[in-house]
A and B are shown apart, each in its own frame.
Chain A
């Protein structure tokens, strides 16, 4: 490939909400592929294996580090869900004006946190 000047890269841009949403979308998505999918398969395999293997799964899942991973997975899911819906909105060509884009980027990031908190509150209370 010919040596051409590259467009300005990550280091020269001032950080904004859209960049934050974008990189978190990628981190949560790829993170879930590496963590949540193995946990999902482990849960299914434990269920298929019988009461004893399910007991092994739940005893590990309910340790403090088990909860850290499960809360992390749920946050990754709800955050990725919110930023994924933002992608659908952007796909129809809406939400590109700077002010609207910044506002909805912040709303997206916050709704991931709020949905995670609501999920665990409901799980504990229901």
Chain B
């Protein structure tokens, strides 16, 4: 690479046509955050309390866990894009910048994966508890119908 200015080095090479990708995704995920975090905020307000039983009961419905899964994806994606801009603005050496963005990508994916994993565990636990409860109730009904008094 010559010692010219940045613009001098790229002039005439044409547009890569990818410049708007980051910008657009930042806005798509912003809209996603607005909806999903807004939903979470309203849910927190409308729940009678935030105890273990109440929150687990809330996550037993079909909408809340899906909303939280979408929230995790949207929020971590948006954070990844936002932190990338911060790194690009403040980390001036290109080697460090590359390393920082690499670490950022690993952490963003790890965070989102861990969040989705926790959510899956919660939902699976609720499902198995419900299944056990249904089995017990069915057994009790059968015993009742058999006339064992």
Per the 8 Å Cβ criterion, residues 39-61 of B in contact with A are 41, 44-46, 50-52, 55-56, 59
* Interface residue A48 (Cβ < 8 Å from any Cβ of B): yes
Given contacts A41-B111, A123-B44, contact A48 B121 (CB under 8 A): yes
| A contact face: mostly helix, strand, loop, or mixed | helix
* Interface residue A2 (Cβ < 8 Å from any Cβ of B): yes
Interface size for chain B: under 10, 10 to 19, 20 to 34, or 35 or more residues?
A: 20 to 34
Per the 8 Å Cβ criterion, residues 1-45 of A in contact with B are 1-2, 4, 26, 29-30, 32-33, 37, 40-41, 44-45
* Interface residue B141 (Cβ < 8 Å from any Cβ of A): no
- Interface segment, one of B10-18, B79-87, B131-139: B79-87
**Could you tell me if B118 and A2 are in contact, using CB atoms closer than 8 angstroms?**
no
Given contacts A37-B111, A47-B122, A48-B121, contact A81 B34 (CB under 8 A): yes
Per the 8 Å Cβ criterion, residues 60-117 of B in contact with A are 68, 72, 75-76, 79, 82-83, 86, 111, 114-115
Scoring B79, B111, B118, B122 by chain A CB atoms within 10 A of each residue's CB, the highest score goes to: B118
- On A, residues with C-beta under 8 Å from B are 1-2, 4, 26, 29-30, 32-33, 37, 40-41, 44-45, 47-48, 51, 54-55, 58, 77, 81, 84, 87-88, 91, 119, 122-123, 126
- On B, residues with C-beta under 8 Å from A are 3-6, 27, 30, 34, 37, 41, 44-46, 50-52, 55-56, 59, 68, 72, 75-76, 79, 82-83, 86, 111, 114-115, 118-119, 121-122, 125
